């Protein structure tokens, strides 16, 4: 997640430069055919292109609204996880006298957070974090989950037997919550907590499982493919046809000028056509990079930073002074 004042225009141009190169080629060819080769018949009526541009603007706007909602939903989910985690920490501290048991419960919770964020960083075929333009931008930041394997990240939190027990499972986060549920049931059976305390802790575990389910649903459900493809088709059609629709419009400008530019006004089509097309392709690229909020791109929910902040807060609740270092932004980007 970018937390600076704004992206620099140079960053945006760098991020979209491959599409700019493509647009330059697409917009130069009609000029050559029309002006240099005399193929005047290739010009299209402007009304046709304008209608297509209007429809494209609607579909691009719709996609960007929906993809923003997906990212916003991701922020809400992780805000809930943060609040539930702190509540869990306070309950563990206040309900149990056995400090070692409290430490086991909280370390297992940190392991759950770790397993969950690692699962959210797994690649899906529809995600674009590793697409050329996004992968190239990752030179500005590093994704922690790609630096060390999950088993190594879990070592500080889990004993060897628990780590071995969940190592073969597909959904490690769910198994860790199951262990939490089993542990507080055993504590209740041993009369370490009263029924109301047990119910409250079990309710928190269930709520954490619900938030995990929301994360997994958002991760495993892409933006509807039928809308994604129609968005790509409309943008591509508009960008291809735009210079053909502007040929006569810019050619007629020769009737309104005199001097050295007379007869050459049509060449102004190139910069203006590229700028207009770039606006559409950039909006489409922004929407595409926003639709999957956990994949690790520069605009995603900073789940690594959130998990570290949760751990720091809970350790402070317990009165610990040796705290892990917070995850700081890298070139204004939090991951």
The C-alpha atoms of residue 80 and residue 301 are separated, in whole angstroms, by 13
For 208-259, the DSSP string reads: HHHHHHHHHHHHHSPSPHHHHHHHHHHHHHHHHHHHHHHHHHHHGGGGG--G
pLDDT for the residue numbered 227: 85
Residue appearing with tokens 């919550």? 177
Cα 155 → chain centroid: 28
The stretch 272-295 carries a mean pLDDT of: 91
pLDDT more than 70, % of the chain = 99
The structure tokens 């053909």 sit at 244
pLDDT the model gives residue 7: 81
Q: What is the mean pLDDT of residues 260-268?
A: 77
Largest CA distance in the chain: 96
Q: Are 225 and 291 a contacting pair, CB within 8 Å? A: no
Contacts of residue 2, Cβ cutoff 8 Å, sequence gap at least 6: 298, 299, 332, 333
Tell me the pLDDT band of 136, cut-offs 50, 70 and 90.
Answer: confident
For 5-53, write each residue's pLDDT tens digit: 788 888 888 888 889 999 999 999 999 998 888 888 989 999 999 999 9
Q: What string of DSSP letters covers 9-51?
A: HHHHHHHTHHHHHHHHHHHHHHHIIIIIS--GGGPPPHHHHHH
Query: Can you spell out the DSSP letters for 119-164?
Result: HHTS--TT--TTSHHHHHHGGG---GGGTS-HHHHHTTTS-HHHHH
Q: CA-CA distance, 156 to 30, in Å (whole number)?
A: 62
Q: Which of 119, 107, 76, 98 is nearest to 216 (CA)?
A: 119
Report CA torsion sign: 132, 138, 144, 146.
Answer: positive
Place of tokens 């575990």: 205
| Short-list 46, 184, 203, CA closest to 108 | 184
- The CA distance from 119 to 246, in Å, is 49
Residues 6+ apart with CB under 8 A from 202: 181, 184, 185
274 pLDDT above the threshold of 90: yes
pLDDT (tens digit per residue) in 174-233: 999 999 999 999 999 999 999 999 999 999 999 999 999 999 999 999 888 888 899 999
Instruction: DSSP letter for 267, please.
Output: G
Question: 313 in helix, strand or coil?
Answer: helix
pLDDT at 256: 73
CA 129 to chain centroid, in Å, comes to 8
pLDDT of 257 reads: 67
The pTM of this model reads 0.90
Among 6-10, 122-126, 155-159, 214-218, where is mean pLDDT lowest?
6-10
Q: What are phi and psi of 122, to 5 degrees?
A: -65, 150
> Is residue 165's pLDDT more than 80?
yes
**How confident is the prediction for the chain on average, in pLDDT?**
91
The span from the first CA to the last CA of the chain, in angstroms, equals: 6
């Amino acid at each position: 997640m970018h937390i600076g004042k704004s992206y620099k225009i140079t960053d945006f141009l760098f991020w979209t430069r491959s599409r700019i190169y493509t647009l330059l080629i697409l917009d130069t060819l009609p000029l050559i055919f029309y002006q240099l080769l005399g193929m005047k018949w290739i010009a299209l009526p402007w009304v046709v292109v304008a209608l297509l541009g209007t429809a494209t603007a609607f579909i691009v706007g719709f996609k960007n609204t929906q993809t923003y909602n997906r990212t916003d939903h991701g922020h809400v989910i992780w805000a809930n996880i943060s609040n539930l985690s702190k509540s869990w920490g306070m309950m563990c501290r206040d309900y149990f006298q056995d400090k070692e048991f409290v430490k086991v419960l909280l370390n297992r919770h940190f392991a759950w957070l770790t397993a969950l964020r690692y699962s959210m960083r797994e690649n899906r075929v529809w995600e674009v974090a590793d697409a050329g333009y996004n992968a190239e931008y990752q030179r500005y930041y590093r994704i922690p989950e790609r630096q060390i394997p999950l088993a190594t990240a879990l070592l500080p939190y889990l004993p060897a037997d628990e780590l071995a027990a969940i190592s073969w499972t597909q959904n490690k986060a769910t198994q860790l919550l199951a262990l939490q549920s089993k542990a507080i049931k055993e504590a209740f059976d041993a009369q370490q907590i009263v029924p109301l305390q047990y119910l409250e802790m079990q309710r928190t575990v269930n709520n954490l499982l619900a938030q995990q389910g929301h994360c997994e649903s958002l991760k495993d459900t892409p933006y509807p493919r039928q809308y994604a493809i129609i968005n790509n088709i409309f943008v591509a059609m508009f960008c291809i046809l735009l210079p053909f629709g502007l040929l006569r419009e810019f050619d007629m400008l020769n009737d309104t000028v005199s001097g050295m530019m007379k007869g050459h006004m049509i060449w102004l089509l190139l910069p203006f056509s590229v700028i207009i097309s770039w606006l559409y392709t950039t909006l489409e690229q922004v929407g595409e990079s926003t639709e999957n909020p956990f994949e690790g791109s520069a605009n995603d929910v900073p789940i690594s930073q959130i998990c570290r902040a949760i751990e720091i807060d809970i350790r402070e609740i317990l009165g610990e002074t040796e705290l892990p270092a917070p995850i700081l932004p890298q070139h204004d980007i939090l991951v």
